[in-house]
Amino acid sequence: MLPIERRQRVIEIIQIDKRVLVSDLSKRFNVTEETIRRDLEKLEKEGLVTRTYGGAIINQHTNEDLPFVARSDQNLQTKQEIAQKALNYISDHDSLFVDSSSTCYELVKLLTEKQNITIITNSVKILNEINSDKLRIISTGGILRPHSFSLVGSIPQETVHKYNTDLAIISCKGIDKEKDITDSNEPDSELKKAMIYQAGKTMLLLDHTKFDNIAFVSFMSFKEIDYLVTDQKPTDEWIKYLHDQNVTVIY
């Protein structure tokens, strides 16, 4: 197991148990206690945990990598409002990369109002539940990550690199002027990066609570975004900053 994968598993464990012990993690991952201490030190620097004597506890303010079912129930009306605003910037016959976020799922449900839309996605939720003659949906394939209802790994990376789309539509766990755009796990973040690279333009969907928040993985700079769609007007400072990055802000 790679260090980044081990740290992601530690995050998942601590989100459930709220605290971990170095000795327990050492046995679970078959590594030295010193290795676990270094992992916890890195997670603490990222603001995800607070180290304690013999272990660590979760930081309650952290943007947790919650299961899709839990995320989909949170702020549903807000996500639907964001989806409705984003819909206005999608045209008939567009081709889209769409990530596995719950906000993007709400947008895809509305795309049946358009004509001849092609969607390439790693979202199991979209693949299983969206069925319309107006949408051509292509699966990236890949390894199922049950926690997020997403397909990840080398196969979706290879699939994404076969296509050139009009737009990549993604979400994230937080944005910060110094740390840029961040998410909670490496596998989904890597695939989003591939989508962004292959798309003509990029649209970021996020609610107002994601501003000035930092999650585990920094995966994209603001200069890579064309549209940012949110539910409330950002602060004047944020609007100026995004304008300076040539980002169109929609709220």
When the pLDDT of each residue in the chain is averaged and rounded to a whole number, the result is 91
Residues 13-26, mean pLDDT to the nearest whole number: 88
Residue 215 pLDDT > 70: yes
pTM: 0.73
Largest CA distance in the chain: 59
Q: Is 63 part of any domain?
A: no
**Least confident segment among 56-65, 118-127, 224-233:** 56-65
Nearest of 232, 156, 233, 167 to residue 196 by alpha carbon: 167
83/36 same-domain check: no
Residue 151: its pLDDT value, please? 96
51/87 same-domain check: no
175/103 same-domain check: yes
Q: Which residues contact 139 (CB under 8 A, 6 or more apart)?
A: 121, 122, 127, 151, 159
119/224 same-domain check: yes
Domain count of the fold of the chain: 2
Residues 19-29, mean pLDDT to the nearest whole number: 95
Residue 68: its pLDDT value, please? 53
79/34 same-domain check: no
Q: Is 99 part of any domain?
A: yes
- Which residue range(s) make up the domain with 191? 68-250
> The domain spanning residue 34 has which CATH number?
1.10.10
In 10 A of CB 191, how many CB atoms? 26
Residue 155 pLDDT > 50: yes
User: pLDDT category, 66, cuts 50, 70, 90?
Assistant: low
> The domain spanning residue 179 has which CATH number?
3.40.50.1360
How far apart, in whole angstroms, are the C-alpha atoms of residue 208 and residue 211?
6
